[in-house]
C-alpha cells in the first residue's frame, strides 16, 4: 500500500484576491485522490477537514494515523464519512464488515479503532471517497443508502440546474459531532450546481466531482462574491472551499458531486445567499 498526505494551510480572503491561476490551484484543488492500492489524504486547516480517497485493488488498505494527527489511531479524535463511488466494496471497522454498493455511504464514529478498505472484485474495484473531522464524542457507526437520505429535487432544466440532492450524513438522518455529507446528481441537460451561490461563515466545505464523462470538464467557481476565481477540474478531483468563499460550478456535461462540510454549524439551511447580479 502507498500512503500520500499533505497539509494545506488556511487562507485569508484578502490574500486570495492576489492569487494567480497556479496559486489558486495549489491552495484549493486536490488533483489526485484515487490511485490503485493507494490512500491519498489532504489535511486542510480550514476546520481541520481531511479529504481522502482509497482504491483497494490487490490488497486491503488500512487507514493509518498520519504525523499531523499525533495519535495512535486515525479515528482517535475523529469521525469519518465514506462514500463508495466504484465497484462493490467493504469497509471493516475492528472486524465488523460494512458492505457498500455504488453511492452508498458509511458514518464511522471516533475511537481507537482501525478502518480497512477492500474490494469484492479487483476487476471492478471499490473507490472510496471520504471526509474526516475532529469529534468530541463517539457516535454509532451507520450505513446510509440513498433511500435513507433526505432527498430534495430542485432547479429547472430551463435554468440548466435541475438536480437531486441526497443529504446522507446529516443531523436529520443520524447524529454526528460536526461532519455533514451528501451527494448531488445533475440531470441530463443540466450543468450548474449551487446556483444562485452562497457562503456560510460557520462552516467550510469540500466538493468531490465524479461521473464527469470522458473528456468533459468542470469549472468550479470560488472566491468572495465580489472577487471570484475559477478552477478547471477533471473527473474524481476535489476542491476546498473556505467559509468566506462561494462554491458553484458549471460543466461541459451533467455530473455528480459529493459535498462535505465541517464547522460549528450543522443547520443545512443556514447560509448567506448571493444574488446572481451581485457576482463579480
Q: What is the pLDDT of residues 234-255, one digit of tens each?
A: 999 999 999 999 999 999 999 9
Ramachandran angles phi, psi of 189, nearest 5° = 95, -10
C-alpha dihedral sign at 21, 42, 208, 196? negative
Beta-bridge partner residues of 205: 241, 261
Distance CA 211, CA 204 (A): 24
Whether pLDDT at 198 is above 90 = no
**What are the residues facing 152 on neighbouring strands?**
165
C-alpha cell at 206: 469540500
Give mean pLDDT, residues 171-183.
Answer: 97
pLDDT of residue 270 exceeding 90: no
Contact at 8 Å (CB) between 138 and 127?
no
Burial of 75 (0-12, 13-18, 19+ CB in 10 A): buried
Which of 41-45, 73-77, 97-101, 193-197 shows the lowest mean pLDDT across its residues? 193-197
pLDDT of residue 272: 83
The grid cell for 218 is 468542470
Q: How confident is the model at residue 144 (pLDDT cuts 50, 70, 90)?
A: very high
Set out the domains of the chain in order of their start, with CATH numbers: 2-278 (2.60.120.10)
Beta-strand ranges (E) seen in 58-186 are 61-62, 78-84, 89-93, 96-100, 105-108, 115-119, 128-134, 142-144, 150-154, 163-169, 180-186
Q: What is the pLDDT of residues 131-143, one digit of tens each?
A: 999 999 999 999 9
Q: Which tops the pLDDT comparison, 272 or 123?
A: 123
- Sign of the Cα pseudo-torsion (106, 110, 111, 116, in order): positive
How far is 156 from 171, CA to CA, in rounded Å? Answer: 27
Question: What confidence tier does 221 reach under pLDDT thresholds 50, 70, 90?
Answer: very high
- Whether 208 contacts 258, CB under 8 Å: yes
Q: Tell me the average pLDDT across 206-217.
A: 97
pLDDT of residue 200: 86
Long-range Cβ contacts of 217-220 (<8 Å, 24+ apart): 217/251, 217/252, 218/249, 218/250, 218/251, 218/252, 218/255, 219/249, 219/250, 219/251, 220/247, 220/248, 220/249
pLDDT value at position 19? 96
| pLDDT for position 34 | 98
For range 52-80, the mean pLDDT: 98
Per the prediction, the chain carries an average pLDDT of: 96
Residue 29: name the closest of 249, 199, 198, 183 by CA.
249
pTM assigned to the model: 0.96
For 36, which DSSP code? B
Amino acid at each position: 500500500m502507498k500512503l500520500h498526505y499533505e497539509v494545506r494551510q488556511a487562507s485569508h480572503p484578502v490574500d486570495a484576491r492576489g492569487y494567480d491561476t497556479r496559486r489558486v490551484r495549489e491552495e484549493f484543488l486536490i488533483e489526485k485522490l484515487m490511485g490503485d492500492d493507494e490512500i491519498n489524504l489532504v489535511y486542510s486547516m480550514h476546520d481541520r477537514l481531511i479529504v481522502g480517497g482509497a482504491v483497494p485493488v490487490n490488497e486491503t488498505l488500512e487507514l493509518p494515523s498520519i504525523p499531523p494527527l499525533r495519535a495512535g489511531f486515525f479515528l482517535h479524535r475523529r469521525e469519518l464519512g465514506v462514500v463508495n463511488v466504484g465497484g462493490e466494496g467493504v469497509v471493516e471497522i475492528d472486524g465488523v464488515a460494512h458492505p457498500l454498493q455504488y453511492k452508498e455511504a458509511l458514518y464511522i464514529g471516533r475511537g481507537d479503532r482501525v478502518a480497512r478498505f477492500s474490494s469484492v472484485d479487483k476487476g471492478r474495484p471499490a473507490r472510496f471517497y471520504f471526509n474526516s473531522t475532529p469529534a468530541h464524542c463517539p457516535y454509532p457507526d451507520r450505513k446510509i443508502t440513498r433511500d435513507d437520505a433526505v432527498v430534495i429535487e430542485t432547479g429547472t432544466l430551463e435554468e440548466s440546474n435541475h438536480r437531486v440532492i441526497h443529504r446522507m450524513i446529516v443531523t436529520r438522518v443520524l447524529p454526528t459531532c460536526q461532519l455533514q455529507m451528501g451527494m448531488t446528481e445533475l440531470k441530463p441537460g443540466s450543468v450548474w450546481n449551487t446556483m444562485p451561490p452562497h457562503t456560510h461563515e460557520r462552516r467550510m466545505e469540500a466538493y468531490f466531482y465524479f461521473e464527469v464523462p470522458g473528456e468533459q470538464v468542470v469549472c468550479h467557481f470560488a472566491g468572495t462574491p465580489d472577487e471570484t476565481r475559477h478552477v478547471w477540474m477533471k473527473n474524481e478531483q476535489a476542491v476546498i472551499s473556505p467559509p468566506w468563499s462561494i462554491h458553484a460550478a458549471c460543466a461541459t456535461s451533467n455530473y455528480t458531486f459529493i459535498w462535505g462540510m465541517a464547522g460549528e454549524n450543522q443547520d443545512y439551511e443556514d447560509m448567506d445567499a448571493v444574488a446572481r447580479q451581485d457576482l463579480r
